[in-house]
Amino acid sequence: MVRLYRTGEVAKRLGVSAMTIRRWVKSGKIKAHKIGKEYRIPESEVLRLLEGKLLDKVVIYARVSSRDQKEDLGRQVEYLKNYCSSKGYQVVKVITDISSGLNENRKGLKQLFKLVESGEVGKVVITYRDRLTRFGFEYLEEYFNSHGVEIEVIFDDEEKTPEKELVEDLLAVVTSFAGKLYGARSHKKKHLVEAVKNALRDD
């Protein structure tokens, strides 16, 4: 006789929320039997997840805003790799972008969406929320969750002061619009961004 588990029991064994388990069931990542309004999950599925065939498969995503931050990007990736190694995660892909967090057409971000939608991974690991997107993080998180994928953020954005967060948002907006007006690598763009930085620093 096949042993069946409640979603709460499976969530406890896997160390995730019951809501995550239900999302995985609905997206087809976990096979389950529906009994009334509840799901029952076969033991074979629980063992499959415990073996790391889905749960511990992660994508690393790192981003910086400009090419002169390439060293920062490298350090960011290295930190994420070490973090995933310490957690026992299996990194299936490292995706990077050099672009504004306001840019919705990032090559790496599009690649990340395809991986999430394919059902090949169970988690995306980032350093800060704004590495993934400057605004609207909650919408992306909800979308990823709808495909059974969790976003794991290493550092809490609440560590940033409201003033620092506001300055970062303002610079992101200025950088994005200056790039559209003058071109991503133009001197006018660099001068404008530097002028805004200096003005904010003086305040």
Token readout for 116 is 């999430």
Strand blocks (E) in 74-145: 90-98, 123-126
* DSSP type of residue 61: E
Q: How many CB atoms lie within 10 A of CB 136?
A: 11
How many Å apart are CA 8 and CA 139, to the nearest integer?
A: 25
- Answer yes or no: 85 catalytic: no
Spatial strand order in the sheet of 38-42: 4-6, 38-42, 33-35
Task: Tell me the residue type at 73.
Answer: L
Q: Is 21 helix (H, G, I), strand (E, B) or coil?
A: helix
Task: Read off the tokens for 153.
Answer: 């953020």
**CA–CA distance from 76 to each of 101, 112, 178 (Å)?**
15, 17, 26
Which of 17, 27, 65, 186 does the annotation list as catalytic?
65
Residues with a catalytic annotation lie at 65
